[in-house]
């Protein structure tokens, strides 16, 4: 996509209320000093625009007690979306989350993922996740880390997709989706082919792997809930120097796209506090400002694309 057509896309999605879901609600929450919320697409559920990432950064809290304390602090500060996966620490992330939630479960939108592709494996993984987190159902259950087209075909042929539908039908998960950080074109195909509720994709200012150009418009067309991840590209684009930008610019860039929330791993309490403050103060960028951040980060685009070609945050 050329810079001109990309700017037109941003202006087009930015000009409609659908492009920034529940923006008036977000601004009202900001005025009250809370984290703004947006509607998660067709789920019609409102969640905080900042989501708590339960991956390797959550597990960087070395003791379980420290991790639980950090998650509870996040919830105290107004984060209502919590993201995990069965392969984060071989289930340790889900165990920590289960111990932290308790009576707060009803106030949290809880998502996890399975990285298997066959029907029996996915269903078994889902049952294990529910047990670890001490819950009866998930709000959102993803198939994790969609790869090249052959991977999508494997999900379709070996029963992974059937397992997603079964989980929703049996109310083990209220909503279903897929996560992807490799190829925006493949995620676009998955969105167009299948009856998903949400997608989680790598959306950052480097504009790597065509998520912004291909997968995001496809998701918006079907009113799917869009959860952004990798806004700092696993620290590849955050900092000073060529191809990098500050975390405030990166977070504002991603949240100025038509997404509901950005999942961020926050391995230190001070990072959690900082990101919450940024989310509370969020104001959408203008298209020219977004292009400026992109140009600043663009020298890293190829490296980010290569990194995510075989990356899995396990």
Q: What is the pLDDT of residue 15?
A: 36
Taking the C-alpha atoms of residue 286 and residue 291, their distance in angstroms, rounded to an integer, is 9
Average pLDDT over residues 303-309: 93
Instruction: Give Dmax over CA atoms of the chain in angstroms.
Output: 51
Residue-level pLDDT at 310: 80
Instruction: Answer whether residue 314 shows pLDDT above 70.
Output: no
What share of the chain has pLDDT > 90, as a percent? 87
Please tell me the total number of residues recorded for the chain in this structure: 314
Mean pLDDT over residues 156-166, rounded? 98
With tokens 């009856």, the residue in question is 195
Cα gap 140→128, rounded to integer Å: 15
DSSP 8-state class, residue 208: G
The backbone torsions φ and ψ at residue 258, rounded to the nearest 5 degrees and listed phi first, read: -75, 70
Buried b (16+ CB within 10 A) or exposed e, 289-301: ebbbbbebbbebb
| Residue range 21-48: mean pLDDT, rounded | 74
pLDDT for 311 equals: 74
Q: Report the candidate in 224, 219, 119, 200 with the shortest Cα–Cα distance to residue 165.
A: 119
Of the given ranges (6-20, 52-66, 97-111, 182-196), which has the lowest mean pLDDT? Answer: 6-20
pLDDT above 80: residue 27: no
Give the three-class secondary structure for 145: strand
């Amino acid at each position: 996509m050329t810079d001109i057509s990309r700017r037109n896309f941003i202006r087009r999605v930015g000009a409609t209320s659908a492009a920034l879901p529940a923006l008036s609600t977000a601004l009202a929450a900001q005025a009250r000093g809370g984290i703004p919320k947006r509607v998660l697409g067709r789920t019609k559920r409102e969640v905080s625009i900042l989501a708590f990432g339960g991956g390797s950064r959550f597990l960087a809290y070395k003791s379980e007690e420290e991790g639980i304390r950090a998650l509870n602090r996040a919830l105290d500060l107004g984060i209502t979306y919590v993201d995990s996966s069965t392969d984060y620490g071989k289930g340790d992330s889900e165990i920590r989350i289960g111990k932290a939630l308790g009576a707060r479960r009803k106030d949290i939108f809880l998502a996890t993922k399975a990285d298997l592709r066959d029907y029996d494996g996915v269903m078994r993984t889902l049952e294990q996740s529910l047990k670890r987190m001490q819950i009866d159902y998930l709000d959102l259950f993803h198939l994790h880390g969609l790869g090249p087209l052959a991977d999508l075909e494997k999900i379709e042929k070996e029963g992974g997709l059937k397992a997603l539908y079964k989980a929703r039908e049996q109310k083990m998960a209220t909503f279903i989706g897929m996560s992807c950080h490799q190829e925006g074109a493949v995620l676009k195909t998955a969105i167009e082919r299948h009856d998903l509720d949400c997608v989680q994709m790598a959306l950052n200012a480097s504009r790597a792997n065509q998520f912004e150009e291909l997968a995001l418009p496809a998701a918006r067309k079907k009113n799917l809930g869009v959860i952004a991840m990798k806004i700092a590209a696993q620290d590849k684009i955050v900092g000073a120097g060529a191809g990098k930008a500050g975390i405030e610019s990166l977070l504002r860039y991603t949240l100025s796209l038509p997404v509901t929330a950005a999942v961020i791993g926050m391995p230190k309490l001070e990072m959690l506090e900082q990101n919450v403050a940024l989310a509370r103060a969020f104001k959408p960028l203008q298209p020219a400002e977004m292009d400026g951040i992109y140009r600043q980060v663009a020298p890293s685009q190829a490296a980010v694309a290569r990194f995510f070609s075989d990356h899995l945050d396990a």
